[in-house]
Structure 1
Amino acid sequence: MRKAGQSLVGKTFMAIFFGLLIVSFAIWGIGDIFRATPPSSIARVGKTDITIDAVRTAYNNELQRLGRQFRTVITPEQARLFGIDQQVLSNLVNEAVMSEEARKLGLSVSDQLVARSITEDPAFRGADGQFNRALFDQVLRNASLSEAGFVHEQRSAMARIHLAEAIAGDLTVPMAAREAFNRYSTERRTASYFVLTAAMAGEIPAPTQEQLQSFFDERKGAFQAPEYRSLTAMALDATSLAKPESISDADARQRYEQEKAKFGTPEKRTIQQITFPSKEEAEAAFNRIKEGATFESIAEERKVPPQDLELGTFTKSEMLDPAVAEAAFSLQEGATSGPVDGRFGPVLVRVTKIAPESVKPFEEVAGEIRAELAKARAGDQLESIHDAIEDQRAGARPLAEIAKEKGLPLVQIPAVDSQGLDKAGKPVELPGRDAVVKAAFASDIGVDNEPLRMPDGGYVWFDVTGIEPSREKTLDEVRDQVAKLWHTDEVSRRLSEKARGLTERLEKGEAIEAVAQDAGAAAKSAADLARGVAKDELNADAVTRIFSVPVGQPGNAASGAETRAVFKVTAASVPPLAPTSQEAQQIETQLRNGMGDDLVNEYIAQIRKDLGVTINQQALRQATGGGDL
């Protein structure tokens, strides 16, 4: 085209060609290319738009909160897997619903009330406990909020709170509900019982091939081989970069002198103390001690019992009263101080025992000091090395080559499941295992994964190199496991049948002692049983079953893998609920909160239906890291 454009004919041709091209674009609608804009909102509730920025901010804040809580980095893939994006959007939609309804009802919050809520917020108070304007501006600046935007959000939030309080703020909890709750939580039962053991199931022959195959076919889902993934991972942290041999002897000795107390036990003193109402009385007592009176005799005169005389054994920094500490640690063993103006009045102090400090010599801790210094210096290099590795990753350089060049450890995992276990069921050795495994199972082969930030400040890069899909195992692979489960199931079935017959005898009025004796078991009694709490030979499921049977009636329940309890409920008691007791108030508060939450949720659900809610799922995925806007 360049050559053709150099001649007159070529120039004419090119002018005609581009003219036709321009006309064709005009006909087809090139304007749409320039007019098309990415969506600005993710959801619309009535007349309220939930913007992409609002969702992105709330989503990132939630990821940071969860990251701090679980001490790990949550990737966008993990967040979508856990439904965090949908949860954040649902919360914003609910807020918009309440704001729309508050606006519809004409609810408003005065400027004075909003201002008071801000000035009384502890987050904006300085060291003097008063509202601090500079701190307020700093918090808003750190959160990328304008003052007008923050005030607007505060006003909306307060209106939503007032609406919620109007719906569920003054609920009356019926006495019947309180009594039912009390009965459920405080009822105690007594039952007589005996236990059928596996030996009472009789001799169980080995299963035939047909029985084993049939048992396996009915439970194939329980013998599923999990999906396994092959991983290559490379860790970058201060420990892997540290070179203790590079730390000089002078630097190590300097750190040793600075932190000498860290390498031993500080001096401790056992101290006695007598408190006086005035300094004059303390001075008089001290003069008597100088003249020959004993510390104990002074304590006896002042009616100080021996146990109150002993203050304890402390290091100087552990003592609460600085003046007493200073006096005690300036005395010789067995000596008594003069009057000391202590925090709780004038005192005389005596030191009865001194345990001198014990510090390890430098030679003994030199290796530890060098490792610590090397790790601290290596931490300063982390970010620059991280950036260099990211540049190499952007150039599609394999992890193995990067690890070799940087001298970093490379870990290759042939197979790991989503729980971090290998095919033998053992945890794999992998840096940041839990976070890496979660991220790997949310990724795929060939994906350029973001490095994961570790709690210690390091990074882990990983690649998924292979995927072995989940599959059903064959009977031959799990024959021993299936045979064991078949045997347990057969024991349980036989004991269940036997227990059913014994329970029928109890229903007909036979004494539990006689029935237990015929079964070859000993009848026992369990008192003060609490719902769902195991006791003696009765596991939690058996106790729960006891609470489902009327008093005076028998029953039976599994009380282990190969045991079954046959029982008869003999008594039940419920402590009365005093309306003014603390327990009654707690029950009422718990029920009121639960009922209030239910009312507000039902209210929001109905208003959502009335207003209509539209959600752009594609925009949500883009805003939360699933694509580019």
Structure 2
Amino acid sequence: MLSAMRSSKRSFFGWVIIGLLIIGLGAFGFTDILTGGSSQSVARVGKTDVTVTEFRVAFENRINALQRQFGIRIDAATAQNQGIDDAVVAELLRSAAYRDEAARVGLSTPDEAVQEAVLSTPGLANAAGEFDAATYRYFLQQRGLNPARYETLVRQSETVATLQNVVAAGATLPPVAANTLMTFLGEERSIAWALIASDPEAVEDPGDETLQTFLEENEPRYRTPEYRQITFARLIPEELAETIEVSDEELREIYEAEIDRFRQPARRIVERLSFPDEAAAEAARTAIEAGETNLVELAAERGLTSGDISLGLVAERDLDRAAREPVFATDETGIVGPIATDLGPVLYAINAILPASEVSFEDARDDLAREVALQEAGDLAIDENIRAEELIAGGATPQELADETAYTLGTARVARGEAGDVPPEVVAEAFASDLGEDRDQIEVGELNFYAVRVDEIIPPELPPLAEIRADVLADWRDAEALAATMEQAEMLRAELEEGRTLTAIAERDGLIVQEDSEITRDGELGLLPPDLLPQLFEAEPGTPLVVETEAGAALVVLTDITPFDLEGEEAATLREIFTTQTSIDVEQDVAAYFANSIADERGVRINQTVLDQIVQSLR
């Protein structure tokens, strides 16, 4: 983690952001519950109620906030299934706990503070930034409140905030917490290691008896999936389009009616730079034509990039009126201007010229014919789909659909997760169907319809060895070679434990020793497996380890442990970041613990029936 901190602190901030997200979710409650009251209670802490209206509006506000955050629609039922209603109740109970404690000790917010809070309510100011009484009245009307009720709610909210600040403000973790975290995450390991490659090709064929035993011991690896043999009738507009012929007369009529589609005006790739006066523009043009500079360099002197002055590929109509004729009158690249425009004197640099072009009817014919055929096929698909729906309602099979409509008949053998000739949606439909069941059509993409019938269900089975012998032999060889390699690695580890060095073993056995350092607990090990990391941080220096790799086995020696420097400049920076980021978490936790202690002491009652009724009414 510490290595990631050194590069933008990504791991450090990763868990901090998660904490902040939790805090952010928890923060919805206290400001979002300023709503009208009700005498009916959905929950109570001590002597303080959570009203029906408080819960309803807080629940709706939470749903709306999540919809804005994630850009998806969330209905009340989904929100309840995800536990959002429980989270809202918990927040409202926390607020109620603080209100109950405030009432017990006689804490309240003075009128002046309430007035200031009302006047500073977001959205109640006019264009001049001053409190607007008419907007305030509309604000209250929309929420079913009167001024007295709203001010009461503001007083409660401000009182809760004051009490929370008294309880939690300034709470931080002790310095030892940051030091402990940095010590744990910042500690580094250095290793030396050698790869012992396995060689499956050197393993001889063991014969069918051994392979059969291996096959049976590893049956799940070779068992075929469940297959379903299906018959389907499908309607694909692209396929229909291939059967539709469009006459040249009709195509030419469309071509002439839409001729602008086939004509491309002359265009230029252009840059533009304005100047304070004519003399400056003339001087710039002279310097450019002398080869002393160019428009991009002149723009750079003003702090502009080439993107700032580029107009890209433009037609004549895309330019200022004054620039159209000068820029498009020339057939050569180069500088044009100065031209007087609303921006002042302007120089244009023509960097490329694309002449006008026109696609002839003969060149456009095939594409146009395909386009018209697809449009007619789409219309036909809608009509044929309606006919098919009527036939299916009368019990028609896929074969009968193909006989009576423009649908085509097909068959396939499909399995979950396997690519095939039919779309995944058709596979899903096959596995949602019973054998021989008549089902409605499904639409795959736009206007692609399938009616699917399952003709046979083929259960999973273990193929005979003869059918898959090559695969079984390859897997057996891999396993045997790996086992032999791991055994060799264990023997070499024993030599290391007896005092022989990795370098000596490598020289004797023709291995290559590699070294890696600055390995942290959240680091990456390249060719070595990630499950080696915890072993490295549990081992003592000099400890030899053996791990399985994709290529065979690795013999690893922990060569050094480097503790994190708690007195260095980096530690001071990280300690400050840690304290700043965790202070919010700690304050939130302290505030929650205080509210929970009040609830435990004075009791909590929740009317689940009423809560469920409220959620049901919002569906």
Choose from 262, 276, 279 the match for 2:277.
279
Is 1:88 the counterpart of 2:77? The answer is no
> Which residue of structure 2 lines up, in the alignment, with residue 260 of structure 1?
262
The answer to whether the 8 A contact 2:322-2:339 is kept is no
The answer to whether the 8 A contact 2:94-2:596 is kept is no
Alpha-carbon deviation of 1:253?
0.6
The answer to whether the 8 A contact 1:234-1:403 is kept is yes
Is 1:429 the counterpart of 2:445? The answer is no
CA distance in 2, matches of 1:254, 1:487: 70
Alpha-carbon deviation of 1:342?
6.8
Alpha-carbon deviation of 1:257?
1.9
CA distance in 1, matches of 2:431, 2:594: 39
Write the letter of the residue equivalent to 1:224.
Answer: R
CA distance in 2, matches of 1:453, 1:604: 53
Write the letter of the residue equivalent to 1:363.
Answer: E
> Which residue of structure 2 lines up, in the alignment, with residue 330 of structure 1?
328
Q: 1:537 to 1:580 in 2, by over 3 A?
A: closer
Write the letter of the residue equivalent to 2:394.
Answer: G
Gaps of 5+ in 1: 1-43, 70-83, 121-145, 150-154, 624-629
> Which residue of structure 2 lines up, in the alignment, with residue 196 of structure 1?
196
Write the letter of the residue equivalent to 1:258.
Answer: D
Is 1:499 the counterpart of 2:485? The answer is no
- Aligned positions of 1:484-563 closer than 5 A: 484-529=474-519, 537-542=527-532, 545-546=535-536, 549-563=539-553
2:353 alignment partner, SS class: strand
Q: 1:496 to 1:353 in 2, by over 3 A?
A: closer
Q: 1:394 to 1:218 in 2, by over 3 A?
A: same
> Which residue of structure 1 lines up, in the alignment, with residue 149 of structure 2?
none
CA distance in 2, matches of 1:462, 1:86: 35
> Which residue of structure 1 lines up, in the alignment, with residue 355 of structure 2?
356
CA distance in 1, matches of 2:534, 2:265: 54
Is 1:483 the counterpart of 2:473? The answer is yes
Write the letter of the residue equivalent to 1:501.
Answer: M
The answer to whether the 8 A contact 1:233-1:460 is kept is no
Which is worse superposed, 525-534 or 192-201?
Answer: 525-534
CA distance in 1, matches of 2:93, 2:526: 57
> Which residue of structure 2 lines up, in the alignment, with residue 365 of structure 1?
364
Q: 1:368 to 1:585 in 2, by over 3 A?
A: farther
Write the letter of the residue equivalent to 2:500.
Answer: E
Is 1:316 the counterpart of 2:306? The answer is no
CA distance in 2, matches of 1:442, 1:568: 54
CA distance in 1, matches of 2:71, 2:379: 22
The answer to whether the 8 A contact 2:387-2:405 is kept is no
Alpha-carbon deviation of 1:502?
1.7
> Which residue of structure 2 lines up, in the alignment, with residue 226 of structure 1?
225
1:153-190 per-position Cα deviation (integer Å, ceiling 9, x unaligned):
xx9xx99x99xx99999974565555566567666543
CA distance in 2, matches of 1:453, 1:394: 17
Is 1:269 the counterpart of 2:269? The answer is yes
Write the letter of the residue equivalent to 2:486.
Answer: S
CA distance in 1, matches of 2:168, 2:382: 52
Q: 1:560 to 1:171 in 2, by over 3 A?
A: farther
> Which residue of structure 2 lines up, in the alignment, with residue 29 of structure 1?
none
> Which residue of structure 2 lines up, in the alignment, with residue 250 of structure 1?
252
CA distance in 1, matches of 2:257, 2:577: 55
Alpha-carbon deviation of 1:256?
5.0
Q: So what's the TM-score if we normalise by structure 2?
A: 0.61
Choose from 558, 565, 570 the match for 1:568.
558
The answer to whether the 8 A contact 1:328-1:350 is kept is no
CA distance in 2, matches of 1:567, 1:399: 67
CA distance in 2, matches of 1:519, 1:200: 19
- Aligned positions of 1:71-220 closer than 5 A: 88=81, 90-96=83-89, 98-99=91-92, 172=172, 178=178, 189-199=189-199, 206=206, 209=209, 212-213=212-213, 215-220=214-219
Alpha-carbon deviation of 1:501?
2.5
- Over the matched positions of the two proteins, sequence identity in percent amounts to 18
CA distance in 2, matches of 1:235, 1:114: 64
Alpha-carbon deviation of 1:249?
1.5
Q: So what's the TM-score if we normalise by structure 1?
A: 0.60
CA distance in 2, matches of 1:335, 1:234: 64
Alpha-carbon deviation of 1:508?
3.8
Count the aligned residue pairs.
528
Which is worse superposed, 373-382 or 244-253?
Answer: 373-382
> Which residue of structure 2 lines up, in the alignment, with residue 78 of structure 1?
none
The answer to whether the 8 A contact 1:446-1:463 is kept is no
CA distance in 1, matches of 2:576, 2:266: 50
1:396 alignment partner, SS class: coil
Alpha-carbon deviation of 1:226?
1.7
CA distance in 2, matches of 1:396, 1:255: 46
Is 1:407 the counterpart of 2:406? The answer is yes
Is 1:416 the counterpart of 2:404? The answer is no
2:549 alignment partner, SS class: strand
Q: 1:513 to 1:221 in 2, by over 3 A?
A: same
RMSD: 6.4
Q: 1:398 to 1:317 in 2, by over 3 A?
A: farther
> Which residue of structure 1 lines up, in the alignment, with residue 4 of structure 2?
none
2:337 alignment partner, SS class: coil
CA distance in 1, matches of 2:438, 2:591: 45
Alpha-carbon deviation of 1:192?
1.3
The answer to whether the 8 A contact 1:255-1:369 is kept is no
The answer to whether the 8 A contact 1:178-1:587 is kept is yes
Which is worse superposed, 595-604 or 196-205?
Answer: 595-604
CA distance in 1, matches of 2:578, 2:327: 54
Alpha-carbon deviation of 1:448?
5.0
Alpha-carbon deviation of 1:241?
4.8
Q: 1:614 to 1:111 in 2, by over 3 A?
A: farther
Write the letter of the residue equivalent to 1:560.
Answer: E
Choose from 431, 434, 437 the match for 1:441.
431
Alpha-carbon deviation of 1:497?
2.2
Q: 1:357 to 1:300 in 2, by over 3 A?
A: same
